[in-house]
Amino acid sequence: MARYPSSSGASFSIGPGGITPAVKILIITNVVFFVMNLIVGEAMTMRLGLEPRAVFEHFAFWQPFTYMFLHSITGVGHVLINMLSLWMFGTELERTWGTRFFTKYYFITGVGAAATSLLLSLFVDSIYYSVTVGASGAIYGLLLGYGMYFPNRPIYLYFIFPIPAKYFVMIVGAIAFFSALGGPGGVAHTAHLGGLIVGYLYLKGLRARPLDGLKYRWLRWKMGRARSKFNVHSGGRSSDDDWKSDWKKHIH
């Protein structure tokens, strides 16, 4: 429950308020995939879920992307909790970041969580032959982002105990870490942990800054090439005798 100011005083609203565009599309897409999976059955799960053996041996490179749109079809609890979390945390993050950055971050953490599972599967046979489904990796990434941008915002553990978001993230991170050490246990704890780690690294800029530097250098090179092509130079006019030396000096 959140409280918002109004002209007549304080008003209360359940959740983060109206749903944002990207969150709305993601929820609809997940629900559609869930219904389709109920109809098609396990064949769809095996084809689109994340199975490291299929990725490495049969080149199923689409699975690190498609797995996050599938959920367990043994009940509605899995998809319900993930979509509720997506709405609660994703809506406010999308308002803060903007739709473009939010969508990019969502898929980076989701695919990053899959990459974590793929990496660990090379050392753990139980992960190598298991099938992972669900948006939980991306959801944990959103939770990490929420804790970093709204560290003191209360999150109600079990809908009863208010805990600042930063401590809530620490708790779920510790649970994911120690659960991953204990083995799969039917839950993809490695994907949860991967979503947290990738989200943290991305938001801290450890992956974005080198790419930004390369992009900046590429743009400078492109601008320099364009200036050379059209004989553009800076520094004012020069005499005819000194034109060539000034051109070499001032061109970028």
Per-residue pLDDT in tens (0 to 9) along the chain, 252 residues = 343 333 344 444 456 778 999 999 999 999 999 999 999 999 999 999 999 999 999 999 999 999 999 998 888 988 998 998 899 899 999 999 999 999 999 999 999 999 999 998 899 888 899 999 999 999 999 999 999 999 998 887 766 778 898 888 888 878 777 766 655 555 567 888 889 999 999 998 854 454 455 555 666 676 777 666 666 554 544 444 443 444 343 334
Question: Which one of the listed residues 117, 130, 136, 189 is annotated catalytic?
Answer: 136
- The Cα–Cα gap between 14 and 88 comes to 10
pLDDT for position 240: 46
Domain borders along the chain are 19-204
pTM above 0.85, yes or no: no
pLDDT for position 212: 55
The verdict on whether 192 is a catalytic residue reads: yes
- The Cα–Cα gap between 140 and 191 comes to 9
The verdict on whether 11 is a catalytic residue reads: no
Please write down the long-range contacts of 41-45, taking CB distance under 8 Å and 24 or more positions apart.
41/73, 44/70, 45/70, 45/73, 45/131, 45/133
Question: Which one of the listed residues 71, 78, 192, 233 is annotated catalytic?
Answer: 192
CATH superfamily of 19-204: Rhomboid-like (1.20.1540.10)
pLDDT for position 126: 84
